[in-house]
Amino acid sequence: MMPKNFLPITSTQVFVKHDHRACARSAMEAAHELCAARGLRLTPVREKVLALLLESHQALGAYAVLERLAQAGFRSQPPVAYRALDFLVEHGLVHRIEKLNAFVACNQPQAGHAPAFMICNNCHQVAETPGKRASGTLGKKARAIGFHIQSTVVEAEGLCAACQAA
């Protein structure tokens, strides 16, 4: 279920100028609606962590999140940040970017998607593209041998257009 006013940002919009405030506001509204629909509690610290991740399309490490939480007046103990991040990842509101050991807000918070990520090696922006767990060649190979894919992580590294032009 997607919130009625949700405006998912496309992967092409991440690397170009766009109204990021509208993008972040839409994602936060979607998070509130999804949590309400699922009977989940978006506590103040969870909401603040999500807001921090929505400030840009750059991934943040757990310690950067912790530092920003402390600046915002929240407790500065690592478990606070990790518990909030774990909750947000578990419920599809945030993704962990393995290559960067960092987190990024989900552009399309919905169940059942397994996005691929394009990571700019220069500006560290992360673009999320929609995907499905068992699609494409990997899915076909898995089905052929009776393997059920539960999750995939696809991360492509490169340079965005702006960094290439610079």
Per-residue model confidence (pLDDT) at position 136? 77
Q: What span, in angstroms and rounded, lies between the C-alpha atoms of 49 and 69?
A: 7
Give the residues of the chain that fall short of pLDDT 50.
1-12
Q: Which positions ≥6 away from 61 have C-beta within 8 Å?
A: 100, 101, 102, 103
Per-residue model confidence (pLDDT) at position 19? 67
Per-residue model confidence (pLDDT) at position 9? 44
Total number of domains in the chain: 1
In the chain, count of helices (H) and strands (E)?
Answer: 7, 5
Q: Does the residue 91 lie in any domain?
A: yes
Per-residue model confidence (pLDDT) at position 110? 65
Q: What span, in angstroms and rounded, lies between the C-alpha atoms of 147 and 26?
A: 37
Per-residue model confidence (pLDDT) at position 5? 41
Per-residue model confidence (pLDDT) at position 46? 96
Per-residue model confidence (pLDDT) at position 166? 84
Q: Enter the DSSP assignment of 10.
A: P
Q: Does the residue 49 lie in any domain?
A: yes
H helices of 39-112, where? Answer: 44-53, 62-71, 78-90
Q: Hunting for tokens 């912790």 — which residue is that?
A: 66
Per-residue model confidence (pLDDT) at position 18? 61
Per-residue model confidence (pLDDT) at position 47? 96
Q: Does the residue 70 lie in any domain?
A: yes
The structure tokens listed for 138 are 């990997």
Per-residue model confidence (pLDDT) at position 1? 43
Q: What span, in angstroms and rounded, lies between the C-alpha atoms of 25 and 55?
A: 10
Q: Does the residue 111 lie in any domain?
A: yes
Q: Does the residue 3 lie in any domain?
A: no
Domain containing residue 50:
11-165
Give the DSSP H or E segment for 21: helix 20-38
Residue 105 sits in a domain whose CATH number is 1.10.10.10
Q: Does the residue 1 lie in any domain?
A: no
The structure tokens listed for 3 are 């919130």
Q: Does the residue 2 lie in any domain?
A: no
Q: Does the residue 55 lie in any domain?
A: yes
